[in-house]
């Protein structure tokens, strides 16, 4: 289990899907199980679950599977029914209720399920399941889906230590998926912000705490006459001749409390200068302080 957990520490988001299915395969093979499936909730509602990761032994029958991204999933496609998304409250109402109550569902023998689980029981029969453990996935109180392990050839007694192991694996998967989701949201947010900045008519400059350019938009390149590669090799002191490193350091500390608007002079690549009005502020990006500087050509008098 420690080795499994270590594999997911700092794992790049684009490697996560493969690692989850590899882990499902290793666990199933070591415990002589035939299938493990991971379902994640959809935006359509908490009861709508999408099958995103599956391991199924190739020599057993089971439902055909597809992912929402058409990413190939493990397992044989035997039954005519193709699973992409299920309504858990309709397919497995008894199990779904327990999962939403944060209870792991342990089923040594599906034929011994209670009368109120008749709908769930019939679906499990259709999928060839004899025994199963279903673990709910939650992160900070938010329902994410569930992780299942199933025996399809013979019943399993599911001793407590095995169930605890499944719950540990579910926690590892949950944390990794949550981290991936956060990274994807950050990338999307950065992309939207980048699009807005690139379409802006005014210049936009991002500097590190020493004054070196980290990024600029297209308007800045047009104003100054540099290429992006050239700009990223410069510092603000080569563009703003009136600004000194000492003054910039003073401003960097002051800007952590409040933004500031100043009028200055910028120098183009050809040596000519022009007046600018700059609104500067300081932000922390990935653990370091940076200066954001939207720049308008010519001072704007109120």
Residue 195 included in any domain: no
pLDDT tops 70 at residue 1: no
Nearest to 234 by CA among 204, 210, 198: 210
Q: Number of folded domains in the chain?
A: 2
Residues 93, 120 contacting (CB under 8 angstroms): yes
Asked if 278 and 185 sit in the same domain, the reply is no
Strand order in the sheet with 213-216: 213-216, 203-208, 288-297, 273-285, 260-267
Residue 244 included in any domain: yes
Kindly report the CATH number assigned to the domain that includes residue 271: 3.30.450.20
Asked if 8 and 133 sit in the same domain, the reply is yes
Residue 158 included in any domain: yes
Kindly report the CATH number assigned to the domain that includes residue 76: 3.30.450.40
Looking at the whole model, is its pTM more than 0.75?
no
Asked if 181 and 206 sit in the same domain, the reply is no
Asked if 180 and 259 sit in the same domain, the reply is no
> N- to C-terminal Cα distance for the chain?
65
Asked if 78 and 126 sit in the same domain, the reply is yes
- Environment class of 281 (CB within 10 Å of its CB; exposed 0-12, middle 13-18, buried 19+): middle
Nearest to 105 by CA among 63, 64, 66, 150: 150
Please say which residue of 189, 212, 238 terminates a domain. Answer: 189
State the chain's mean pLDDT as an integer: 85
Whole-angstrom Cα Rg for the chain: 28
Please say which residue of 127, 159, 189 terminates a domain. Answer: 189
Domain residues for the domain of 281 are 200-297
d(CA 150, CA 168): 17
Asked if 105 and 153 sit in the same domain, the reply is yes
Q: Is 225 left (phi over 0), alpha (psi -120 to 50) or beta?
A: left
Question: Which has the higher per-residue pLDDT, 286 or 243?
Answer: 243
pLDDT tops 90 at residue 154: yes
């Amino acid at each position: 289990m420690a080795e499994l957990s270590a594999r997911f520490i700092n794992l790049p988001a684009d490697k996560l899907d493969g690692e989850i299915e590899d882990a499902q395969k290793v666990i199933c093979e070591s415990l002589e199980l035939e299938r493990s499936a991971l379902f994640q909730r959809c935006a359509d509602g908490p009861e709508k679950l999408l099958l995103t990761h599956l391991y199924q032994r190739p020599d057993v029958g089971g439902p055909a599977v597809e992912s929402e991204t058409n990413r190939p999933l493990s397992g044989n496609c035997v039954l005519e029914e193709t699973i992409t998304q299920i309504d858990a409250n309709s397919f497995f109402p008894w199990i779904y209720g327990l999962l939403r109550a944060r209870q792991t569902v342990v089923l040594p023998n599906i034929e011994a399920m209670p009368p109120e689980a008749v709908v769930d029981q019939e679906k499990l029969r259709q999928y060839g399941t004899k025994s199963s453990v279903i673990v709910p996935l939650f992160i900070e109180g938010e329902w994410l889906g569930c992780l299942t392990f199933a025996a399809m050839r013979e019943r399993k007694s599911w001793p407590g230590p095995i169930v605890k192991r499944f719950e540990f694996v579910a926690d590892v998967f949950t944390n990794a998926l949550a981290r991936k989701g956060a990274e994807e949201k950050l990338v999307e947010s950065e992309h939207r912000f980048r699009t807005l900045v690139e379409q802006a008519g005014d210049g936009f400059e991002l500097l590190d705490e020493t004054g070196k350019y980290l990024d600029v938009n297209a308007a800045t390149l047009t104003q100054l006459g540099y290429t992006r590669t050239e700009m990223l090799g410069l510092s603000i002191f080569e563009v703003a001749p009136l600004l000194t490193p000492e003054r910039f350091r003073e401003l960097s500390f002051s800007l952590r409390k409040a933004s500031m608007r100043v009028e200055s002079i910028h120098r183009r690549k050809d040596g000519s200068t022009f007046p600018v009005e700059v609104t500067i502020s300081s932000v922390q990006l990935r653990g370091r302080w940076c200066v954001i500087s939207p720049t308008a050509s010519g001072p704007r008098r109120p």
